[in-house]
Amino acid sequence: MGIIKAIYTPICDLDFSYENHGDGELNQSFETTSFRKTVEKTLKCKTCFRDRSSAWVYRENDNFTLGYVGYSDMTHSGTGGDRYNVVSKNIENKKYSSGQSNYHVSSALRMDKAVKNAQKYLRPWSPVEHIAISFDDFKRDWRDVGYQADNEYNGKLNVMTNDIRERGNTFKELGHLLTSGYEFLYPNVREMIKEIHDALSELNETKKRPKIHKFIYIREYLGEQQAARFPVNADDYWFDLKSFQQQHRDIQWVKADDLDENDKRKISSLSFLENGQYIDGVGFKAASNCYYVVPEEGRCVV
């Protein structure tokens, strides 16, 4: 299962208008403002206005917020009283089901305890968690290529079947085939048949596309770029985060310069795209340093 979007947001989508105009503190309680300032100082991070009772927590140069902190009553009943809350992907509150944002909340009556919770749970995103965030969008775009080819083929086929149903030129041509040496009387029927075969050929080609992609995560470490590579199946029904984390506990980092030339070429092409864009045969850009790359035929995925 992936990570629910209610507990994080891309840093590029943060609304800094409240902060720029100094309205963040004016629109939040004293407790919320004090809490976020203490978190900033303790974790050496930054915060951004989220709503009247909470603020996103983030680090510069990351892709996504670490979670958020605030002061409010986050119980379903609304009768638990205001508390200092930390919301993070790393929290599992078994009082609630895993599909709810409350599942990821740790609450405390005292701010000092809440700050310790923030230190414990507001951790940076791992490469594998970046897959969990982006997998659904990647899978959608990969499958859309096949869906579009299938729709194109069915569209061309429907044109001909409708013409047969209406006893048009196709119907007449088929009758002519039964009684002649097969010479088309109607050029548009030949064209329809050709378009159907071309569309079917394109559809069959999409079915040959590789399902296993390389997810490549790039980081800066000790003055050099390093890369981690993971095999990801675009045809999986869903991404099992916990299972994948177990399989890839020990991440193998390599120098980015040592990546396969094919991978470097495709990453270079994808780097010019907006996040969330896909190029068939090349790959998908999940974030500024995260890419799903289509492997070359016959090459090892990692």
Residues 24 and 55 sit within 8 Å (Cβ to Cβ) = yes
- Residue 64 is classified by DSSP as B
Could you tell me the CA-to-CA distances from 113 to 90, 119, 184, 292 in Å, in that order? Answer: 17, 10, 83, 40
Could you tell me the CA-to-CA distances from 143 to 59, 71, 223, 280 in Å, in that order? Answer: 34, 42, 38, 10
Q: What is the pLDDT along the chain (302 residues), one digit of tens a residue?
A: 567 888 899 999 998 887 766 555 567 889 999 999 999 999 999 999 999 999 999 999 999 999 999 999 988 777 778 999 999 999 988 877 766 668 899 999 999 999 999 999 999 999 999 999 999 999 999 999 999 999 999 999 999 899 888 888 887 887 777 677 777 888 888 888 888 888 888 999 999 999 999 999 999 999 999 999 999 999 998 999 989 999 998 899 999 999 999 999 999 999 999 999 999 999 999 999 999 999 987 665 66
Picking from 166, 154, 149, the residue whose alpha carbon sits closest to that of residue 196 is 154
Which pLDDT score, from 0 to 100, does residue 2 have?
Answer: 62
Residues 57 and 125 sit within 8 Å (Cβ to Cβ) = no
Where helices occur in 122-274 by DSSP H, the ranges are 127-165, 169-179, 187-207, 241-247, 261-270
| Dist CA 103 CA 89 (whole Å) | 9
Which pLDDT score, from 0 to 100, does residue 20 have?
Answer: 67
| Dist CA 156 CA 152 (whole Å) | 6
Which pLDDT score, from 0 to 100, does residue 100 have?
Answer: 67
Which pLDDT score, from 0 to 100, does residue 192 have?
Answer: 84
Q: How many CA atoms lie within 13 A of 220 on its CB side?
A: 4
* Run of H or E including 227: strand 224-233
Structure tokens at 224: 């050099």
